[in-house]
Chains A and B, each alone.
Chain A
């Protein structure tokens, strides 16, 4: 045995090792159990090294990767900048196209809704001269363009045609130093002459220092120059100063804002109404006029309509009631039965027979006094075409209904629980002035 082991020692060791491992495998397979000790040792020995390797690899590879990435950043940056430039150009082009489309649409809408007969044109070039503000448009005498025609946009006036050629026309812009047009302010109807200054702003001249013009106020064409129809927006006041003789009113022409590219030439202008606006800061507050009530104040038939005020009507009402009770007011000591006065319980007086007629009242008188400059000044300049050609002016102006609310107002439910409460009063909305291109004005105020 010893001879065998010594002679075949290597083989014996091999067999022992093999058999031992076979038994180990057999044990694992048979018992379906692992040998965790060996695995734990091996994993414990290997995994820390793996973690270290992974850490080194991550940072090393990340550095190398960043290096190679940075190598391509420059070329990529150049490429992106080039692409960005192209996109900017394309974006600018698309924005320009979109703005052109918007302007064209606004122009067509304005042209469709404007009562004036217009021709659309496009600015094709500027005139020569350093200080001159003239442009050429692509419509000429073959399109019916003549010298002196007004050139407008939906935002306001632009200029006037100074020369009409067969295929083009020369338009003097409102900013030209030689340009002039009659204008009127929106609030106080201050009249003046618009003059170009060769700059972006224009001057409204010949407005008295005593006139009231506020900053931000709109000026409209007055129609006095027989070029621009009345009621077209001119611009908004940016600064107002008192001059030696006249006010120095500067405004920015609204039709020139954003550049002039598409315009309308007025072949036949129609006057428009200037949008109403409240009077300029009267210094005291005017309360809103009473609205028209649905109730009726009983009026005796045959009574002449000489009752100028509500107090007169109330006095007359009491007088009639006293006569019905055979009592005379102011005589004797027996007072009439006021509960039998009609209108006290009903509290919904019927309108007087002459309700459609304007009835003067102190409040109205005061308002009329304030609106006097407005109503008197443009009377002379009121064009005939406004009522003759404008569809809005075809119907006569509707008289403003006068308030007919009861004077003696008590709560009807106090006297009679079954009484019906007063209905909600109706309000008259002022008619919207024509002129689709007018700038937004303030909401109707109390004295309109």
Chain B
């Protein structure tokens, strides 16, 4: 195990810095992300690939490193997304619940402040989010959705690319706990 790898695994965690988002931001930021998802693609259809609620969930989970809070945070964002969709409530909730849990679990083992790790995790969770949503839609709802892996990979890269500056901005909003 190299030194870099060891530092990735055992680096200082964010929890030690005791920096957290204010509660108000925990409410406003997901709302802004959801509004962005439902409003902006009306005028810029290309931006519909941007899954900002997912990135917010990942950022919250990676920052809090608490699986339970991340589970509920992801579930809440997912349920709001479900409420604004035509699907039964719970589809996005389950997926984002899992994303929050796994992101929080990963953050306990890796130095998620590293941009590369952030990029990879964002890419991975986007792919996981889309794939698991497809599985749920087929398994629970019986919908014949098409999963375009190539497109999903490409959009995953784009979302990961957006995640880097977005996480940087969100980190600026954190204050010392």
Contact = CB atoms under 8 A, between A and B. Distances in A.
Pick from A25, A29, A34, A54 the residue with the most CB of B within 10 Å. A25
B89 A24 contact: yes
Interface in A29-72: 29, 34-35, 38-39, 41-43, 45-46, 49-50, 53-54
Contacts of B140: 22, 25-26, 29
B97 A17 contact: yes
B158 to A, nearest CB: 24
A14 B82 CA distance: 19
A14 B97 contact: yes
A419 interface: no
B89 A50 contact: no
B89 A10 contact: no
B68 interface: yes
B67 A28 contact: no
Given A28-B89, A46-B84, A13 B68 contact: yes
Interface in B127-143: 140-141
A9 interface: yes
A46 B31 CA distance: 8
A369 interface: no
B144 to A, nearest CB: 16
B72 A46 contact: no
A25 B71 contact: no
Contacts of A21: 75, 90, 93-94, 97
B43 to A, nearest CB: 8
A11 to B, nearest CB: 8
A29 B93 contact: no
Interface stretch (B32-40, B114-122, B147-155): B32-40
A105 B55 CA distance: 84
A80 interface: no
B50 interface: no
Interface residues on A, range: 20 to 34
A78 to B, nearest CB: 32
A18 B35 contact: no
Interface residues on B, range: 20 to 34
Nearest to A42: B83
Contacts of B35: 46, 49-50, 53
A221 to B, nearest CB: 81
A49 B36 CA distance: 11
Nearest to A57: B43
A272 to B, nearest CB: 81
A7 to B, nearest CB: 13
Contacts of B79: 38, 42
B38 A46 contact: yes
A21 B96 CA distance: 11
B80 interface: yes
B84 A42 contact: yes
Contacts of A43: 83-84
Given A21-B97, A22-B90, A38-B89, A13 B71 contact: yes
A45 B80 CA distance: 10
A18 B94 contact: yes
25 contacts: A10-B68, A10-B71, A13-B68, A17-B75, A17-B97, A18-B94, A21-B75, A22-B140, A24-B89, A25-B88, A25-B89, A25-B91, A25-B94, A28-B88, A29-B88, A35-B89, A38-B82, A39-B89, A42-B83, A42-B84, A43-B84, A46-B31, A46-B80, A49-B31, A54-B39
Interface of A: 9-10, 13-14, 17-18, 21-22, 24-26, 28-29, 34-35, 38-39, 41-43, 45-46, 49-50, 53-54
